[in-house]
Amino acid sequence: MANYDVVMIGGGHNGLVCAAYLARAGRKVLVLERRERIGGAAVTEEVFPGFRFSVFSYVVSLLRPEIIRDLELPRHGLHILPLESTLTPLENGDYLAQWNDHDQNRRELARHSLRDAEAYDEFGLMLHQMARAVKPLLGMAPPDPTALSLRELFGLKRLAEHFQGLGTKRFNTLTKLLTMSSADFLDEWFETEALKATKSASGIIGTLLGPRSPGTAYVLLHHYMGELDGVFRAWGFAKGGNGSVSAAIAGAARAAGAEIRTSAEVSQVLIRGSRARGVVLAGGEEIRAKLVVSGADPRRTFLQLVGEKHLPGPFVDSIKRFRFRGASAKVNLALGELPDFTCLPGRGAHLRGAVSISPSIGYLERAYDEAKYGGTSSRPYMDIVIPSMLDPSMAPPGKHVMSIFVQYAPYHVNGGWTDARRDALGDAVVDTLSQYAPNLKKAVLHRQVITPADIERIVGLAEGNIFQGELSLQQMFFLRPVPAWAKYRTPLSGLYQCGAGTHPGGGVMGASGRNAAFQILGAA
Amino acid sequence: MKRTIVIGGGADAVVAAQLLARGGREVMTIEGASPASEEGWVPPQVVRELRLEGVKLDWPDPWLTVPLPAGGRLELWLDMARTVEAIRQVSPRDAERWPEFCDRLARLARFLGELYAAPPPDPLSARFALRARRLGKRGLADLLRILPMPVAELLDDWFENDALKGALGAAGVLHLLQGPRSGGTAFRLLHHHVGCPPGVFRPPRSNALELLRKLPRVELQQAEVLRVTVRNGAVAGVVLKDGRELDASTVVSGADPRRSLLDLIEPGWLDPELVRSLRHVRRRGVAARMRLELDRSPGFSALALAPSLDYLERAYDDAKHGRLSQQPYVEARCEGSRVEVLAQYAPYGKSCAGLADRVTALLGEHWGDAQPLHTELASPRELEEFEGWPQGQPHHAELSLDQALWMRPLPELAHYRTPIDGLWLCGPAMHPGAGIAGAAGLNCAHAILDR
C-alpha cells in the first residue's frame, strides 16, 4: 500500500516548489533531502563563525513572480533587497557603472560613449519585448514536435500562433537572439568594450562557451527574464541569504501539509511491474508512494536512481549525451574590511550593487581559451556581491561577506580537481581582484573555494553544472532533457522529473517545479 | 516592358539571366572580371529548368586523405564499405558507428537539399511543419538538436579518433570565423553535405559554371557597374564606370547585398534601420588561397591537415584574437601536379607574412619527393580584389545560423526582393547560397517572374 501520494526526491528549490503546489492540491507529499538541510544549491550556511554565506547560488531574480504570489512566499519570510548597480572596473583605472536610476545611468554611459547612451534605452526596450515574448513559454510544458497526437499538434499550433502574434519584426529579433553569439548581438548595439563585455557575460554564465560562440545570446536573454515586482532584469538579494528562499518555499509546502525529511538519501527508485512505486533510502528503508517525482538532475535520476535496465535504450543514450560540463566556481570571502576599489575609492553606493570583472570581450574569451583545453582561467570572469552591505546580519558588526561567482573553472580539468588546484583557483581570484581593489588581500579573514567537483559532491549536481545541464540551444525547450520527454514525464510510468534539467532550466527560478506540478495534477 | 539587367557573372547571376530570358524578358548581363569556377552542388532543379546537359559533380576518390599523427594515412573513400575498412584500422568502434552516422546525416542533408531548391521557408507555416515531420520522429529530433550544436560535440557523441574528428570538424568551420566548439557549426557540416553521397563531407567540384556560360541567348557586356539609378523608389537603369547609361526597369544583382544596396544605390532611398542591419551583416573572410605547381604529382587527391578538433580550435583562437593562425588548418586538392590549397585562419586585414612558407612546409611532409616549382598565395584582402569577394569571404555573407534560411542575409531581404522597386538580389549571400551553384539565381528568377 502506498503511504503517500507523492514522494519527492530532493529538497532543492524546484522540488520544494513542486511539492508545495502538489500539497496545496490536496496530495499527501513527502520530500526527501539527502543533506542535513533543505535547499539544494539555494542554502545559507555559517561557513566561518559569525559569517553567513549563500554558499552556492547567491542572487534572486529569476524566481517566477507567480510562484511568489501563489505560495505567498513573503508571508513565509521571503524578503528581497534589490541590487541597484553593476560596477565594471577597467584595466586602465577607470570604471563603467550601470545604475538602476535612469538619469544617473545615462550620464555614466555618455561619459564613455554618447552613442551607447542613446542606444541603451532602445536596447532595454527591445530586450524587454523579447523577454515578454518568451515569458509565456516559461510556464508551459513544451509541446512535442515529434508526436503525432492531436493534442500535441494543437500545442504546436498554439505555439506557432504565439510567435506569429509577435509580428515579423519581433519574431526575427527573437530568432536572431536564439542563434547569435552574445558578442555579435551586442556589437550591433554598442561600442564601449566594457559595456558589451559586462552584458555579454550574462550569456556565458554556467556554460562552457565563450561570448563569441553562437547560442550565448539566448542565455543572455534567459538572465534578463528575472522579474522583481514586475520589472525585468531586476536582481536582488534575499534577506538572510538564498537559504531563506528555500526556507520560505519549504514553509509554504509544510503549511499546505507536505512532510519534509532531511538526511534522507534516496538510493534507488522502487520499481515493481515496470512502474515506480516508491523509493528506497540509503539505510534500506522503503517508502511507498503512488508517484515518484525527482528533483535531481537527469543523470542521477535515470542512470543512478532508476537504472539503465528499466529504460529504453535510445532514451538512455540521449541521457548519456546530455551535457553538463560545469564551468563555474564560487569563492566566498570573509572580510575584515570593505574592498576599496582604486577606480571608485571609498564606501560608495557601488558596493551595494554587483561588481563585474569583465573589462572586454577579449578578456572573457581569453578566460574561456584556458578552460577549453582543461585549465582554469588565470584571469577569470567574476560576478561579485557583498551581501553584508544589504543585510548586516550576514556578518559580525563592521565585517563583511563577499560572494564571488567565478568562471571559467571547468569540471573536467586536466589531472582532476585537487586541493592544490582549488587553492590555485582561489589565489587567481584574489590576485585578480586585488588588481582593482589592492586592500583586498589583507582584508581576507577566511576563504572558501568551491569547485564544480565540490558542487557535485556536496549538492549532487552532475559535473557541478549550476543549471542541472548546459543551457545551450540543443538542450532547451522541447529538447530538455531529451526530445519527446520534455513534459516532465519519463518513460517509467509513475516517475516524473521536476528539476532544472527540464524546461525552462536553471537559475533559482522554480518554473520547472511549478510546470511539473501542473502536469502531474493535470494527468491525475 | 523595359530591359532587365543582371549584374555579375557567377552561377547565380547566369541562372537568373537565363531563366528571365526564357521567361520573355529582354535581358542584358553586365560582368566585370570573369569569376573563378565555383565549387559545390548543383540542385537538380537548376539542371532541369535550364536543360543543362553533361553536368558533372566530381569528388576525388578518396575524397579525403587524412595523415595520422603516428604516421600513415586514413583514407575516406566514396565507397562506404571501403571507408569503414579504412576507419577500422584506426578505430574499430568508429568504424562500427560510421554507417549509422552517415545515414542519419544524409537524411537531414536531403531535407536541407529540398529547402535549398526553393525560396526560404516560413518557419511558422503549417507547410514547413508538415515537411519537417516527414523526417520522422528521430530525424526531426536529430535536426532540432544538431542545427544549433557545436560540430565538436556532434563528433564527440559519435567518434573517438582525433584525426577523423578533425577532418570532419573542419567541414563545420570552412570560411567561418568560428571554431569547432562554437555553436551552430554542426549546421555547416550538414550544409556542405547537401548533394553529396552518404559518407562524403566535402562539396563536389562541378563544371556547371562552364556549361552555364556556354548557354546562348543573353546579351553580355564586359563592364563595371558604378551605380544603379533609382527614380521615385524604383529602378531606372544603371550607370557604368565608362560613363555609359543603360535604361532598365529591373536590375538583378549578384553582388553582395551591402555593395548592391549601400554602394550602388544613392544613399537616402533606404530605411535607416535597414541600412543599420545591412552594415551588421557579417562577411569576414578567414581563409587564404594558395596555388602550387609541383614537379610531379604529390600522391594525394585531397588532403586535410587537422590532426584533432583541438588543433582546429587553437587555429581559431589566434584568429579570434585578431592574429594569423600559427598552425593553420590546411586543406589541399590536387589535379595532376597542380595543388589548390585553403589555409585557415587568416583574418581579413591581417598580414599573411610567412603563411606561404608555413603551408608549404606543412604540406611538404606529405608529398614525398615532389618539389614546388611555383607558389602563389592570395590573402583575403587579395581575394577581395581579384575575385570581388567582400572582405575575402566567398559566401558574401557568412553562413552562420543567424544568417541562414529565412534570415539570409537579413530577414527583410530573404525573399530576393529589396525595398527598391525592381531591384532584386541573387548571389551567394542569398538563400541557399554559399557554395550551392545557381539555386539563389533560380529562386530569385522565379520570384521575379511570378510577380
Instruction: Give the confidence band of A76 by pLDDT, cuts at 50, 70, 90.
Output: very high
Give B113 to chain A, closest Cα distance, Å. Answer: 21
Residues 6+ apart with CB under 8 A from A328: A205, A206, A405, A406, A407, A408, A409, A452, A464, A466
User: Domain B4-56+207-281+395-450 carries which CATH code?
Assistant: 3.50.50.60
Yes or no: say if A385 and A423 are a contact pair by the CB < 8 Å rule. no
Burial class (CB in 10 A: 0-12, 13-18, 19+), B269: middle
Q: How far apart are CA B304 and CA A394, in angstroms?
A: 59
* pLDDT score, position A232: 55
Exposure on the CB side of residue B194, measured as CA atoms within 13 A: 28
Question: What average pLDDT does range B216-224 have in this prediction?
Answer: 86
* CA nearest to B136 within chain A: A146
B108 or A158: which leads in pLDDT: B108
pLDDT per residue as tens digits for the range A248-275:
999 999 999 999 999 999 999 999 999 9
Q: What are phi and psi of A19, to 5 degrees?
A: -60, -40
Cβ contact, residue pair B184, A188, below 8 Å: no
Question: What is the pLDDT at residue A154?
Answer: 87
Q: Whole-angstrom Cα distance, residue B400 to residue B172? A: 10
CB contact under 8 A, A176 and B407: yes
Question: In this predicted structure, what is the pLDDT of residue A166?
Answer: 92
CA dist., res. B444 & res. B431, Å (int): 9
Q: How many angstroms away from the CA of B167 is the closest CA of chain A? A: 19
Residue A56 has pLDDT above 70, yes or no: yes
d(CA A264, CA A428): 37
Contact A330, A409 (CB under 8 A): no
State the Cα–Cα distance between residues A471 and B77, nearest whole angstrom.
38
Task: Read off the pLDDT band of B350 (50, 70, 90).
Answer: very high
Please, which residues bridge with residue B341 across strands?
A: B290, B332
Q: Is B183 close to A216, i.e. CB distance below 8 A? A: yes
- Confidence band, pLDDT 50/70/90 cuts, at residue A233: low
Say if B122 is an interface residue toward chain A (CB within 8 Å). no
Prediction ipTM score: 0.93
Instruction: Report percent pLDDT > 70 for chain B.
Output: 98
Q: Report the run of H or E that residue A516 belongs to, with start and end.
A: helix A511-523
Distance from CA of B131 to the nearest CA of A (A): 12
Q: Highest mean pLDDT: which of A155-159, A503-507, B389-393?
A: B389-393
Of A163, A214, A478, the CB nearest to B184: A214
- Is A149 touching B (CB cutoff 8 A)? no
Looking at chain B, which residues constitute the CATH 3.50.50.60 domain(s)?
Answer: 4-56+207-281+395-450
pLDDT given at position A508: 86
Tell me whether B244 touches chain A (CB under 8 Å).
Answer: no
Put simply, the answer to whether A146 touches B401 (Cβ < 8 Å) is no
d(CA A198, CA A85): 12
Cα distance from B160 to chain A (closest Cα, Å)?
14
Residues 6+ apart with CB under 8 A from A33: A10, A11, A40, A260, A261, A262, A263, A264
pLDDT tens-digit profile of A176-212?
Answer: 999 999 999 999 999 999 999 999 998 899 889 999 9
Which of B271, B402, B407, B412 to substitute to test the interface with A, most A CBs within 10 Å? Answer: B402
Q: Say if residue A235's pLDDT is above 80.
A: no
- Tell me the angle at which helices A150-165 and A168-179 cross, rounded to the nearest 10 degrees: 110
Residues B392 and B404 sit within 8 Å (Cβ to Cβ): no
Does A362 contact B141 at a Cβ distance shorter than 8 Å? Answer: no
Round the average pLDDT of chain A to a whole number and report it: 94
Q: Over 80: is that where the pLDDT of A430 sits?
A: yes
- DSSP secondary structure letters along B105-122: HHHHHHHHHHHHTSSPP-
User: Does the beta carbon of A375 lie under 8 angstroms from any beta carbon of chain B?
Assistant: no
Interface probe for A, chosen from B138, B162, B182, B415 (most Cβ of A below 10 Å), is B182
Contact yes or no for A332/A402 (Cβ under 8 A): yes
Distance CA A310, CA A261 (A): 27
| Angle (CA) A512 A517 A523, round 5° | 125
Cβ pair A212:B320 closer than 8 A: yes
Compute the mean pLDDT over every residue in chain B, rounded to the nearest whole number. 93
pLDDT at B35 over 80: no
CB pairs under 8 A between A and B: 102
Using H for helix, E for strand and C for coil, what is the string for B315-351?
HHHHHHCCCCCCCCEEEEEEECCEEEEEEECCCCCCC
User: Do B320 and A187 lie within an 8 Å CB cutoff?
Assistant: no
Residues 6 or more apart whose CB falls under 8 angstroms from that of A59 comprise A83, A235, A236, A237, A242, A354, A385
When mean pLDDT is compared over A212-221, A504-513, B160-169, B364-373, the highest value belongs to B160-169
pLDDT at B425 over 90: yes
Percent over 90 (pLDDT), chain A: 82
DSSP secondary structure letters along B178-228: --TTSTTHHHHHHHHHTTSPTT--SPPEESHHHHHHH--S-EEEE--EEEE
Would you call B275 an interface residue with chain A, using a CB distance cutoff of 8 Å? Answer: no
Distance to chain B for A186, nearest Cα, Å: 11
Q: pLDDT tier at A225 (50, 70, 90 boundaries)?
A: confident
Q: Do B182 and A214 touch (CB under 8 A)?
A: yes
Cα A219 to Cα A137, A183, A199, A489, B128: the distances in Å are: 15, 12, 11, 25, 27
Could A479 and B141 be called an inter-chain contact, meaning their C-beta atoms sit closer than 8 Å? yes
Please give the Cα distance from B46 to B443 (Å, whole number).
Answer: 10
Predicted confidence band of residue A61 (pLDDT cuts 50, 70, 90) = confident
pLDDT score recorded for residue A515: 96
CA distance A172 to A169: 5
Q: Tell me the residue type at B288.
A: A
The pTM of this model reads: 0.94
Q: What pLDDT does A2 receive? A: 64
Q: Is the pLDDT of residue B283 over 90?
A: yes
Say if residues B94 and B160 touch (Cβ distance below 8 Å): yes
pLDDT at B368 over 80: yes
Where does the pLDDT of residue A231 fall: very low under 50, low under 70, confident under 90, or very high at 90 and above?
A: low
Residue B38 pLDDT > 80: no
Stretch A324-333: mean pLDDT: 96
Q: What pLDDT score was predicted for residue A84?
A: 86
A143-157, B268-282, B307-321, B324-338: the lowest-pLDDT one: A143-157
**Range A379-405 average pLDDT:** 97
Tell me the three cell numbers of residue A182.
Answer: 552574445
Q: CA dist B418 to A130, A444, B423, B426, Å?
A: 26, 62, 6, 11
